[in-house]
Structure 1
Amino acid sequence: MEKHPVYNALRAVRDPELGVSIIDLGMIRDIAEDGPAGLVITMLPTSPLCPYLKYLVAEIRQTARPLAPGRTIKVVIDMQHRWTPEYLSTEGQRYFFGGKP
């Protein structure tokens, strides 16, 4: 997934409350092809009550669209699992903890 061009583009999407990339927060859990005409991006919110879910979904779609022209972009919100700090990238860990927690 890390090599997918959409994954790298999503580094530009920041959580509006935390100011950190959704990639560094570990919110993007999967990017999968959905046949020749679709792309499915699975997102795990940092909180099940995140007030910015609609905003983040719109930003993910807008960021992915140029890299998947003419394709349907579906964003799935994973509410089956819970986000934990273990999902933070090295950069995310540095931001919150000054290094590894």
Structure 2
Amino acid sequence: MFGKKPWEIPHIDTMELWKFGDYKSFVSLELLAHLFKVPTPKDDIDGSMVSSIYYIEKDLQRIVDYCEKDVLTLANIFRRMRQEDLLKRYINLDQKMKFTDDQIADIGEEIINVLKTVYDPEIPVDIYELGLVYDVQISDDADVKIIMTLTTPNCPVAETLPQEVKDKVAEVENVKSVDLELTFEPSWNKDMMSEEAKFELGMLQFNVLTYQSCQKAAFFIDK
């Protein structure tokens, strides 16, 4: 590469690659990151700000971080296209990146899906529908905090169930860390169960039958 001009070195310009044949426009890296659910590299600055940061603010490290995040994002987009796992978030470059609100929402949805695979051994309903999960907090770095309870402080799985929750949530893609807080304030009661859980346990059976009977009665009255 020594002695060669930039345009004399064979390379792939991803901006040209992502024009998809349209010479007038292109698909931005930020948009692709959003589409492929990859942390955006534009969480701090973008290319239009580099000049002022270099000449006015003289903050070279900020530019270095921006370029590093661009490279990591590009690599992860190609890994998505190849259906490969993203580069792990413990890599130093990735720890500087933030997730967008939409990406955080997607992570939250995946966490809820995972929580619905964890069951209280004494009740045939998952802990999410059972109302044992009080809160799920996700930072823009994808650090997760779960606040949950048990049906009773003397629950036989008081030691193992919280750890199972923590381990399963930690496996959700893009989750960086998981902190779990076990609390008994407020104490759990049946009113915290979802309608689906109550129905599954038969607690709403009487109400459903009553409703169906009323519907039938109304039908005959109309006739």
> Shorter-normalised TM-score: what interval?
0.7 to 0.9
2:171 maps to 1:66: yes
The equivalent of 2:127 in structure 1 is 22
One-letter code aligned to 1:46: T
Larger relative contact order (Cα-Cα within 8 Å, sequence gap ≥ 6) = 1
1: CA distance, partners of 2:177 / 2:145:
8
Which residue of the other structure, out of 183, 193, 197, is the alignment partner of 1:78? Answer: 183
Q: RMSD in angstroms over aligned alpha carbons? A: 2.3
The equivalent of 2:150 in structure 1 is 45
**How far apart are residue 63 of structure 1 and its match?**
1.7
Q: 1:84 to 1:98 in 2, by over 3 A?
A: closer
Normalised by the length of structure 1, the TM-score is: 0.82
1: CA distance, partners of 2:180 / 2:190:
22
Q: Which moved more, 1:60-69 or 1:83-92?
A: 60-69
The equivalent of 1:32 in structure 2 is 137
Normalised by the length of structure 2, the TM-score is: 0.40
1: CA distance, partners of 2:166 / 2:198:
26
**How far apart are residue 19 of structure 1 and its match?**
2.5
More helix by share: 2
**How far apart are residue 34 of structure 1 and its match?**
4.5
2: CA distance, partners of 1:70 / 1:24:
22
**How far apart are residue 44 of structure 1 and its match?**
1.8
Rg larger for: 2
**How far apart are residue 69 of structure 1 and its match?**
4.4
**How far apart are residue 46 of structure 1 and its match?**
1.0
**How far apart are residue 86 of structure 1 and its match?**
0.7
2: CA distance, partners of 1:35 / 1:47:
33
**How far apart are residue 4 of structure 1 and its match?**
3.0
CA contact (8 A) 2:142 2:174 kept: no
Q: 1:22 to 1:42 in 2, by over 3 A?
A: same
The equivalent of 2:162 in structure 1 is 57
Give 1:8-19 correspondences, 5 Å limit: 8-19=113-124
One-letter code aligned to 1:9: V
Segments of 4+ in structure 1 off by > 3 A? none
Structure 2's unaligned 5+ residue stretches are 1-104, 208-223
1: CA distance, partners of 2:179 / 2:146:
6
The share of aligned pairs that are identical, in percent, is 23
1: CA distance, partners of 2:203 / 2:188:
20
The equivalent of 1:96 in structure 2 is 201
2: CA distance, partners of 1:43 / 1:71:
19
**How far apart are residue 8 of structure 1 and its match?**
2.0
Report SS of the residue matched to 1:19.
coil
**How far apart are residue 98 of structure 1 and its match?**
4.0
